[in-house]
Amino acid sequence: MARRPTATPPGPSARTPAAAGEAPQHPADPHRQDNDALVESELSGADEEDFSGPRQGEAIPESRLNKSQKFVKLLEALQTSGGARASELMSRFDLDDRTLRRYLADLRELDLPLYTEGRGDSRRIWIDASYRRHGVRISLLELISLRFGRQAFSFLEGTTFASDMDGALETLSTFQHKGVDRVRHLDRKLVALPEHRKDHARDNDVLEEVLNAVVNEQVATAHYARVNGPTKEYKLHPLSLVVYKQSLYLFAFDQDAGQIKTFALDRFRNFAAHKRDHFEYPEDYDPAKHYEHAFGIMNGEPVEVSLRFHRRAAPYIRERIWHHSQELHPQRDGGVRLNMKVALQHELLQWVLSFGPDVRVEAPAELTDKIRRLHREAAEGIDLLEAREPRGDR
């Protein structure tokens, strides 16, 4: 069940916005379409083929186009000399009157010079001839890259954010193209395997509110529940929406604490942006500084860490960049020593524990003690942990 943001009265304004209206959201921006072609293949000498639909020579009936494709084609029809009658558009694109009105409302929200004359199905609709669109031309390989990148956000399925991404990609492939067979079936040729992820479909309302607050620099009031902790109210300046390990996080300035903190999106119990209460986005803010010392996403005071890995694990350690501060030192026995300056957070502990007997913590002593204790507790099992818990917590 999606969380719904609670209504919160706006607080004192730190900045008066130039306009109170919000930017409209649409599956496509027709200002960025091109009349002739949307995607140009860079495969020299190759016959083109539509790789997203029918085979060469087969045209998709306009009544069967998806919403984004109909939106673009409708725009084209309205730009022809004399425009088009409502009845013609409804018949051509298999629309009822209500759906056509919704499409036209979308066009008006984009500030297009849209005009109508007459009443009912016979009314004529057109866009002023002075309006000129700005073409977007991307290569076939660029489109492939976008489709592949979309797979990296598969963990957002079920959210409006994912629907908007799909709509944008559908718009970019609106016109039928020709191409060789090797560019067909892209979803099977380029695959991004999902990691263990959070289910953000239930956070759709919160995600939309967070996005609006980040983009429009709006102060927000939120109730946030820490793991195994109470729910607390925060007054936030949302700065960055962050993707980490198939999950969403928010970097936000906490007004009461006077510092930037990291919040997991799924732990917001509600999130309400104040539409008329804006903050000045800090010129000196750098998101990278907020996770500079993190071994993952949780920052903290950095310490010098030294880990010695057995030769069984050495190849795995050498083939990756674990942290920007890392230094690798080969050992005579085939092992490797990893030195880095990072925060001692839970993410580092879990990573070290995952190597079992193939790693020895050389420094700092605090990390050595924690790893030793956690290994001992793991060996003793759940019975010991339950025995240590207060009776009321069981």
User: How many Å separate Cα 264 from the centre of its chain?
Assistant: 14
Pair (46, 82) in one structural domain: yes
Q: For residue 236, give its domain range.
A: 200-284
Pair (244, 341) in one structural domain: no
Q: Is 233 helix (H, G, I), strand (E, B) or coil?
A: strand
Structure tokens belonging to residue 380: 């003793």
**Alpha helices (runs of H) in 152-203, residue ranges in sequence order:** 160-172, 186-189
Give me the percent of the chain exceeding a pLDDT of 70. 72
Residue 315 resides in a domain: yes
What integer is the mean pLDDT of 218-240?
Answer: 94
Pair (32, 178) in one structural domain: yes
Pair (95, 240) in one structural domain: no
Side by side, which strands form the sheet with 84-85? 84-85, 124-127, 114-117
Residue 392 resides in a domain: no
Side by side, which strands form the sheet with 259-264? 259-264, 247-254, 231-244, 218-225, 268-278
- Among the candidates 194, 215, 237, a domain finishes at 194
Pair (230, 363) in one structural domain: no
- Among the candidates 160, 194, 228, a domain finishes at 194
Neighbouring C-beta atoms of residue 155, cutoff 10 Å: 21
Neighbouring C-beta atoms of residue 45, cutoff 10 Å: 5
Report in angstroms the alpha-carbon separations of 38 from 16, 31, 32, 35, 329: 39, 13, 9, 8, 51
Considering only 35-44, 147-156, 331-340, which range has the smallest mean pLDDT?
A: 35-44
Q: Cis peptide before 364, with omega less than 30 degrees from 0?
A: yes
The pLDDT value recorded for residue 51 is 37
Q: State yes or no: pLDDT of 320 exceeds 60.
A: yes
- The per-residue DSSP string of 58-96 comes to PPPPGGGS-HHHHHHHHHHHHHSTT-EEHHHHHHHHT--
Residue 134 resides in a domain: yes
Q: Is 368 helix (H, G, I), strand (E, B) or coil?
A: helix
* Count: domains in the chain: 3
If pLDDT is split at 50, 70 and 90, which confidence band does 153 have? Answer: confident
Residue 17 resides in a domain: no
Is residue 205 within 8 A of residue 158, CB to CB? The reply is no
Pair (57, 187) in one structural domain: yes
Pair (88, 127) in one structural domain: yes
Residue 296 resides in a domain: no
Query: What does the pLDDT look like over 87-127, one tens digit per residue?
Result: 999 988 888 888 888 888 888 877 778 888 888 888 899 88
- Among the candidates 224, 251, 284, a domain finishes at 284
- Contacts with 23 (C-beta within 8 Å, 6 or more apart), sequence order: 215
CA dist., res. 237 & res. 243, Å (int): 18
CA dist., res. 263 & res. 182, Å (int): 43
Identify which of 244, 281, 234 has the alpha carbon closest to the alpha carbon of residue 264.
244
If pLDDT is split at 50, 70 and 90, which confidence band does 48 have? Answer: very low
Residue 5 resides in a domain: no
Pair (183, 308) in one structural domain: no
Q: State yes or no: pLDDT of 13 exceeds 60.
A: no
Pair (142, 246) in one structural domain: no
- Domain harbouring 231, CATH code: 2.30.30.520
* Helix then strand then coil, % of the chain, to nearest 5: 35, 20, 40
Pair (44, 177) in one structural domain: yes
Residue 107 resides in a domain: yes
The pLDDT value recorded for residue 380 is 82
Residue 292 resides in a domain: no
- Residue 17 burial by CB count (10 A; 0-12/13-18/19+): exposed, middle or buried? middle
Pair (42, 147) in one structural domain: yes
Pair (134, 264) in one structural domain: no
Which amino acid belongs to residue 106? D
Query: What does the pLDDT look like over 158-190, one tens digit per residue?
Result: 787 777 777 777 666 654 444 444 556 667 777
